[in-house]
A and B are shown apart, each in its own frame.
Chain A
Amino acid sequence: MDDDAEIIAEFLVESHENLDQLDRDLVELEQQPDSRDRLSSIFRTIHTIKGTSGFLAFNRLEQLTHVGETLLSRLRDGEAVMTPAIAEALLSMVDTVRALLDVIERTSSDADPSVDVAPVVAVIEDLLAGREPSSGGAAEEPVVSPAASSAAPPDLAPDPAPDPAPDPVLAPEPAPVPASHPEPHPAPHPEPEVHAEDGAERRSRVDSSVRVDVDLLDDLVDLVGELVLTRNQLIQRSLASDDLELVRASQRLDLVASELQESVMKTRMQPIGQVWSKMPRVVRDLSHQLGREVELVMEGHETELDRSLLEAVKDPLTHLVRNSLDHGIEPPDVRAAAGKPAKGTLSLRAYHESGQVVVEIADDGKGIDPEKIAAVALERGVVTRDQLARMDGREVLGLIFRPGFSTASAVSNISGRGVGMDVVRTNIERIGGSVDVVSEPGRGTTTRVRIPLTLAIIPALVVGEGAERYAIPQANLVELVRIEGEDLERQVEDLAGAPVLRLRGQLLPLVPLAGVLEDGGLPGDEALTVVVLQSDDVRFGLCVSTVHDTQEIVVKPIGRQLKGLAMYAGATIMGDGRVALILDVAGIAATAGVGATQAEVVDLKAGAADDRTALLVLEVADGRRAALPLAAVARLEEFERDRIERSGTAEVVQYRDGILPLVRLASAIGLPDTSDRSDQVSVVVHETGATGGAVGIVIDKVLDVVEVEVSASQVGRRAGVTGSAVVQDRVTDLVDLAAVVARSGVSA
């Protein structure tokens, strides 16, 4: 009994794999109906299932695959021509086979009446007899068709069991045989050929591969991880040793262990084609259903990644493909009207790039309109008007990944039924991947999914803080910056206790690692080592004491006593056998309160208060306060006073290979100018529009950045000032930026 169960289990696994292949083959066959290779491959698959089902006494499954096989053999022998009706019948046969297999998996028998094979069998028999099935499909069966039935039996001969127990349901089958028995075999050659091929194929598959329990593979990976660590320890020791033999042996161990590690990791690698094999069928069914014409192009299906990851990306990828068909590619008439070929193209591309697997899903459909996205996001309360104003095009497109966003105006049963893009993103990010969208309205959309090759071993940068080492996943690493001496004073600013770094004109929030771990500030006075990190849309600089090196680390889980600590992603073991913690970049960003996460939290707290504005509070004219919207501030700069030159009546400085016109804010808002009192002048750089023009607004000093609900009053309204407001309990002038910029002579 147990033996049986095992055989059935094997049969199920093999059949499911074969069916995936079958789906793909059938769809391809529809496009190139005369491909003998495809036909042979399909025939073989069905033949195998039929053989085994006969052996295991799954009569209904056998009956179904038998008629399917007969139809296929006829196609293969050129006695029948592929028609949409035949394709439909074959696909529905595959579906029924799949349903039967599911039943077998549950009940170990195919007798469950919930799956009815009779209709499919009837349709195929109709096709075989040259009758029109229920409707449509002009199946022009050649007159010789019954001959195929006589051709079929030799086929069955090598089969282990089907014939001894002639199924009553098969009765109508043999009927036509006598009618045309004198007909000679039309194509005797392909038969033995196929069998030889069949045999070779089976042998090679059986002999050259073994099924291995995944748990066993996981154990192997763990063990190899440990071996690698032990090797690292041994090598460190042997380097200090005089024993030549030991050194030689450990070097050999080093090599062998590395190769072993690679091989073991490879055992878990599987081609992404395994996930893709379902796509042709998905695309075919959907495009029929939606009335689209779509050509599916797949590239790089041999690209491999860890099987656990493969499993995890299956659903997200399918969802993205569905989305492309539903929202991307237009119906043929719309496409024609837009001057595009009626048939849309959906391309799937997979490739390796810097230690990651990239999967691109690209369509040449109508693209995504950022304005529409913005409007919908506003309407559904996904963002506030204020946040939206600060977003660039890419960020606006990224809104489709936010929870609560779905552009499907009508909920179709294809996409937009709860499994939104936010779920896609969550699932991809859970496995350490990322997803982003680029789109050109009218031209198409490309979604790019990045997935790590494997979760078990990742490249990481090891940094030091205090007496300990910490590993930072390389996937989050953007660059390393070291700032020394004078640069330190010029490039690192303190904005109300929040350190920021001027990095190529951008202000980068700095987070001292010491502060994340203990309560420390920025390390050292002489030099600063900044690891620039990126997680989702958040980019920040992590200040560390020392940078060690990059190495491959084996990621290990940490106990539940530490689960509440968001800044750790796990732990690993270093070459010396000591444990080092792996930092979670997203967690650090959240803990330190940098980036988008914080803005959202603030918004939640503020409830409906959408009119909160971030303001840069300045001091001008000897203690008077003024404020600019932070969104208008590109950078903060300091210049030596003697760098200010004159061009006509205007003051300018040479700045980043150009000339930056200066406006003294105090004079612009009608106050006495006191910004010249020190040798350094503070300048707020405001970029005017997309042309890249900039104006430097000279102030006394920056006081603070605040986020407040501005209740402006008309008091103090004058040239350059729109009014005043109480900010931090002090009356503050609200600067009329346009008027101030106008004074510089630069058009806003």
Chain B
Amino acid sequence: MSAVATVPTTEQYCTFWVSGLFFGVAVEEVQEVLRLQPMTPVPRADEAVTGLINLRGQIVTAVDMRVRLGLPPRADDEDPMNVIVRSRGEVVSLLVDDIGDVIDTAGVDAQPAPSNMPREVQDVLRGVCPLPDAILLVLDADRAVDVATAPDTTGGTP
């Protein structure tokens, strides 16, 4: 009921939607949120790598969360948003459908991801927080941006 003050830093999440799923990334890991940016595709890269964007002179790799998580592709007329996260010293953009608020999960304990969720989604989760009005999937940014580095290991583009 009343919020129990625990470690506050890990309980604030920047939230977003991907194919109807409600995700959150710890606010300390998020650098900023941007509208769709001009993008340069990278031939032969992993399918989930949509391209490179110029973030004030820094080259940032954009990873489409729908592709990364094996979810159905976005409709052509829907522009994704960039959630810019810091991961292991690099800055990476997660392409998501829409941005939500920054929310505080204080008092709600994270649980392991339900075992019937798709493997690809479970693999990138730290856990799930059943909030009163939604279920927050807590994303592990490091794992989310970890896409295959070797070419031709997956199907790739024909």
Give the contacting residue for B92; candidates A516, A561, A564, A579; CB below 8 A: A561
Asked if B111 is at the interface (CB within 8 A of a chain A CB), the reply is no
Chain A residues, CB < 8 A from B41: 468
Please measure, in the bound complex, the distance between the C-alpha atom of A518 and the C-alpha atom of B44, giving whole angstroms: 7
Interface-located stretch among B53-61, B97-105, B124-132: B53-61
CA distance A222 to B49 in the complex (A): 25
Interface residue SS majority, chain B: loop
Assess A561 versus B61: contact at CB under 8 Å? Given A517-B44, A578-B38: yes
**Nearest-neighbor residue (CB-CB) of B51 within chain A:** A579
> How many interface residues does B have (CB within 8 Å)?
33
- What's the Cα separation between A578 and B51 when bound, in Å? 11
Interface residue from B43, B54, B56 paired with A518 (Cβ < 8 Å): B43
Bound complex: CA of A518 vs CA of B148, how far in Å? 18
Q: Report how far A518 CA is from B51 CA in the complex, Å.
A: 15
**Interface flags, A200-215, vs B, CB<8A=1, else 0:** 0000000000000000
Within the complex, the shortest CB–CB distance from B133 to chain A, in Å, comes to 34
Minimum CB–CB distance for B139 against chain A, Å: 16
Question: Is B145 part of the contact surface with A, judged by Cβ < 8 Å?
Answer: yes
Residues of B that sit less than 8 Å from A by CB:
38-46, 49, 51-54, 56-61, 63, 88, 90, 92, 145-151, 157-158
Residue of A nearest to B148 (CB): A564
Complex formed: what's the CA distance from A579 to B38 in Å?
9
Chain A: which residue is nearest B157 at the CB level? A518
Contact of B42 among A225, A562, A573 (CB under 8 A): A562
List which A220-236 residues lie within 8 A (CB) of chain B: 222, 225-226, 229
Check if A170 is an interface residue, CB within 8 A of chain B.
no
Tell me if A561 and B58 are in contact (CB < 8 A). Answer: no
A444: min CB distance to chain B, Å: 46
Q: Which residue of B lies closest to A514 (CB)?
A: B43
Q: Are B54 and A558 in contact (CB under 8 A)?
A: no
Q: CB-CB < 8 A to A571: which residues of B?
A: 40, 52, 59
Partner of B60, one of A559, A560, A570: A559
Q: List 25 A-B contacts (CB under 8 A).
A: A222-B57, A225-B57, A518-B157, A519-B158, A558-B52, A558-B59, A559-B59, A559-B92, A559-B145, A560-B88, A561-B46, A561-B61, A561-B145, A562-B49, A562-B61, A564-B151, A565-B149, A567-B44, A571-B52, A571-B59, A573-B59, A577-B38, A578-B38, A581-B40, A581-B42
Chain A residues lying within 8 Å of B51, measured Cβ to Cβ, are 579
Within 8 A of B (CB), among A382-428: none
CA distance A453 to B40 in the complex (A): 29
Residues from chain A with a CB closer than 8 A to the CB of B45 are 561-562, 565
A355 within 8 A of B: no
Asked whether any CB of chain B lies closer than 8 Å to the CB of A282, the reply is no
Q: In the complex, what residues of A have CB within 8 A of residue B40's CB?
A: 468, 571, 578-581
- Selected from B49, B54, B148, B149, the residue in CB contact (under 8 A) with A573 is B54
What residues of chain B lie closer than 8 Å to A229, measured between beta carbons? Answer: 57
- Does the CB pair A579–B59 fall under 8 Å? yes
Question: Known contacts A468-B40, A561-B92, A567-B44; is A577 also within 8 Å of B54 by CB?
Answer: yes
Within the assembled complex, what's the spacing in Å between the Cα atoms of A714 and B92? 66
A559 to B88, CA, bound (A): 11
> How far is B1's CA from A660's CA once the two chains are assembled, in angstroms?
98
CA distance A565 to B150 in the complex (A): 7
Closest to B146 in A: A561
Across the interface, do B150 and A564 meet the contact criterion of CB distance under 8 Å? yes
Additional 19 contacts, C-beta under 8 A, given A226-B56, A562-B45, A579-B53:
A222-B57, A516-B43, A519-B158, A556-B57, A556-B59, A558-B61, A559-B92, A560-B88, A561-B146, A562-B42, A565-B151, A567-B44, A571-B40, A571-B52, A577-B38, A578-B40, A579-B39, A579-B40, A581-B42
Q: What's the Cα separation between A517 and B151 when bound, in Å?
A: 11
The complex places the Cα of A687 from the Cα of B156 at a distance, in Å, of 46
CB atoms of A568 and B57 under 8 A apart = no
Give B56's nearest chain A residue, CB to CB: A226
Closest A-B pairs by Cβ, 8 of them: A564-B149, A226-B57, A517-B43, A559-B61, A579-B40, A564-B150, A579-B52, A571-B59
Residue of chain A at shortest CB distance from B149 = A564
Q: Which residues of B contact A226 (CB under 8 A)?
A: 56-57
- Which residue on chain B has the smallest CB distance to residue A465? B43
A174 — which chain B residues lie within 8 A by C-beta? none
Instruction: Using A564-B149, A579-B53 as known contacts, say yes or no to A557 and B59 having CB atoms under 8 A apart.
Output: yes
A380 at the interface (CB under 8 A from B): no
